[in-house]
Structure formats: C-alpha cells, structure tokens
Structure 1
Amino acid sequence: MKTAHFALIALLALASSGAFAFDPSPLQDFCVAINDTKTTGGVFVNGKFCKDPKLANANDFFFSGLKQGDTSGSLGSSVTVVDITKILGLNTLGISLARLDFAPKGLNPPHTHPRATEILVVLEGTLHVGFVTSNPENRLFTKVLNKGDVFVFPIGLIHFQLNVGKTNAVAISGLSSQNPGLITIAKNVFGSNPPISSEVLAKAFQVDPKIINYLEKQF
C-alpha cells in the first residue's frame, strides 16, 4: 500500500512539474523590455531588462505599421512579424503576431517555429495550408481555407501556406511566444553558413551531388 501511495505521489509531482516547466505564469502585471543592457537597477527577465513599471506608458504596448507587405519577391509572399522587437511590452507575456500577405500563387514555404504554436485566420482570399507530424508517421494534415477560416499549426511542426486563389490573400497569425523563432527548411538546409557538406545532403536526399550544388546556389 505504501508503494502504491509513493507511486501516486511521484506521478502527481511529475505531472505538476511538467505543467509549469514550459511557460510559468508571470509574477508581475508586465515587464516592458529595455534594450540598454548597461542600465543599472533593472531586473533581467528572459533575455531582457525590465523597465521600471512606473515609467511604462501606452506606447510600450503599441505598434503602428501592420500594413500590406511586399509580395513581389520570388515566393510571392511577405510576413510582417510583431514580436518583442516591435512591442517591448510583450516581454514575458508569451505571445506575438504576424501578418501574412500573398500574391496569387504566393507561398510561405515549409518552415517551423521551434518555440510557438501558431493559429492563423484568413482575412481575404483562399489559402491551401498544412503541417506534417514528426517521425515516424510524417502524416500530412492539410486544408483549403477561405475568408474567416481558422487553422492551427502545433509547436515545432513543419507547416506552409499557399495562395490557391486568383486574387491576393491576407492572413493574421497569433503565436504562443514573444520570440517564436523561424526555421525555413530549404533556406536553413541549402543556405547555411558555412554550407553543409554536399556529400551529407546528397546522401540525405538521395540525389546527385550536382543537384545539391544547384540548390545551394539558389540560396
């Protein structure tokens, strides 16, 4: 009986520690970041010093400029991120936002956010979206979204958005981190600095090294 009680207590302890290990609740109303790391008397929280709350003002929680992005590039898409670099008041709040603009056939290529789940709502147009689960299943979840539709991309999983309509498309994404991070698969693999060995990539993708060399030149 004592062994059973001990096991139950251990399981409850593990469950509670897991619940609070990833994103603990803040112990203050806000912690407006300040970029001057030489400031004395500040409180260093999550990579940033905190401004004295008495000196905070509305502009610390404000951003102006979430406007249409330039979609004239090769991918036909533009992502405007509003994170802690744009709104210093986001520090410790565990959230950020992005606006996604797409020309017809524009693509936000396969990528991941290592520190955030993403929830996307389509404001205009039609998007084909999807994400792939981790090994070994590698299962694709995909959907065509129209104006007003919402889709979720779980944290860390590879996902994409493609404009399959004949007009421009616009979406807004919420991300569960003040600094979600971005790993664009093709760019990170073929455009790393210094480059990953062509031998490594040729074997990984099971293609001729000449193809790898070509792809590396694109980035």
Structure 2
Amino acid sequence: MKMMIPIIIFMISCLLFSFSSSQPSMFDFCVADHTLPFGPAGYSCKNPLMVNVNDFSSSGILNAPNTDNIYKAGLSTAFVDAIPGLNGLGISLARVDVQPGGVVPLHTHPDATEVITMLQGNLTVGFISSNNTVYVKSIGTGDVFVIPRGLLHFQVNSGINLSVELSAFSSSNPNTQIVDEALFKSNLATKIITATTFINPIEVLRLKLLFKGSG
C-alpha cells in the first residue's frame, strides 16, 4: 500500500495539470496596459472598455531595420510593447535583416522557442544542444528552421546579397542574451573571463574595448 501512495499522488497531479491546462481562459484577451510596469507575469490587463482595434495591430515590422553596426544585422520587432494585444498569448514576431558578411551572433532566448522563415536570400543557421551537439544548415527563401527554447544559436550571411527572415517566438516578449555582449560589454573582470574561458587577457581587453565594456 505504501508503494501505491507515490503512484496515486503522481496520477492525481497529472489529472490536475491536464484539467487546468485544458480549461479556457475566462477572458478572450488581456491587452497590455503600458501605463503599468511590466512584471514576471507580463503586463496587467487594460480596461476592456478602453481596448480598441489598434491594440491588435502594427505595421512596424515592414520597416527595414538598421544594420549599420558591428554585426551588420538588425531587427524590427512586433513584440508586446508594439502590439499590446499580444500580452498573455505567448507569441510574437521579428523581422531580421543580415547584410552580406553579417551575423546574428551566438545568443539565447531563455524563455522562447524560435521559428525562422526565410523571406529573402540565404543564411547559415544553427544551434548547439545541451550535450554540445551542433546542428547547422544552409537555408534559402521559403525554408523554415526551428530553434528549441533556451539553446545557443546563430545566423551567418556568407552570400553577396541581403538576407531577410521572419522569426516567430513562443513568447510575447522574448528575452535575448548575446554571449559576446554578456562577456565583453559587461563589467565582468578580465581575469575572471580569462580564467573561465581560457581566452588570452590581451584579447579580452581588445574585445572589451570593441564592445565598450569595463573590468
């Protein structure tokens, strides 16, 4: 009987999870109230009487982003800050332009899966799994590539033409951490970076100067 107790608890937990996840929300939507601060659960809901059709629309993603930077890449976003109606829906979009020779450097989205659809040009895309297996593929116009949540990934334009992609995220406000910037744009001490990455301290200082970091 004692051995059955954990099994019973597990089955009840599964049933409760199934019940809770299958229940529809009591609201059709929760439009973000941008007058209130953003919290761990997202934005608070806007008064339904104040909601209008513009809360569910944006044309900003049509605009080509600025690619005049060290990466030769840029993005235009349709996140919850631009479309309040995305709040709580767990989805958003971004347009990413990468110039020839440009990159989207190693980075991660801790809270979102990403689905890339190529609209123009070609890219080499890839991600690294938690067991350090590398998955890399060259994709062109019309191709789709999936980046699992939280994994390090990148895009490289090795061609001679501009590449344009549309990325969909499983979050209305996906977080992004770029490895280069975490190391060299922060105030993390050079000696710590050298000790933990085995990169020569002279190179660390050069990269900190490039990324305008300190330490």
TM-score by length of 2: 0.87
Give the drift of 1:19.
Answer: 7.0
Aligned residues: 208
Tell me which of 80, 87, 95 is aligned to 1:84.
Answer: 80
- The change in CA–CA distance for 1:27 and 1:189 in structure 2 (over 3 A counts) is farther
1:148 maps to: 142
Q: Do the aligned partners of 2:60 and 2:76 also contact (CA within 8 Å) in 1?
A: no
Please state if 1:175 is matched with 2:175: no
Please state if 1:204 is matched with 2:173: no
What does the per-residue CA deviation read over 1:135-175, in whole Å, with 9 as the maximum and x for residues that have no partner?
Answer: xx211111100111101111111101111222111100100
The DSSP-based 3-state class of the residue aligned with 1:49 is coil
What does the per-residue CA deviation read over 1:15-64, in whole Å, with 9 as the maximum and x for residues that have no partner?
Answer: 45677999x964311111112239xxxxx993422122233111000111
What amino acid does structure 1 have at the position aligned with 2:76?
T
Q: Do the aligned partners of 2:60 and 2:77 also contact (CA within 8 Å) in 1?
A: no
Q: Do the aligned partners of 1:116 and 1:175 also contact (CA within 8 Å) in 2?
A: yes
2:181 maps to: 187
Distance 1:26 1:84 in 2: 19
Tell me which of 39, 43, 51 is aligned to 1:48.
Answer: 43
Please state if 1:36 is matched with 2:31: no
The DSSP-based 3-state class of the residue aligned with 1:33 is coil
Q: CA RMSD in A?
A: 2.4
Aligned-pair identity (%): 35
Correspondence list, 1:100-119, <5 A: 100-119=96-115
The DSSP-based 3-state class of the residue aligned with 2:44 is strand
- The change in CA–CA distance for 1:19 and 1:218 in structure 2 (over 3 A counts) is farther
- The change in CA–CA distance for 1:109 and 1:8 in structure 2 (over 3 A counts) is same
The DSSP-based 3-state class of the residue aligned with 2:203 is helix
1:61 maps to: 56
Distance 1:12 1:3 in 2: 15
Give the drift of 1:10.
Answer: 2.5
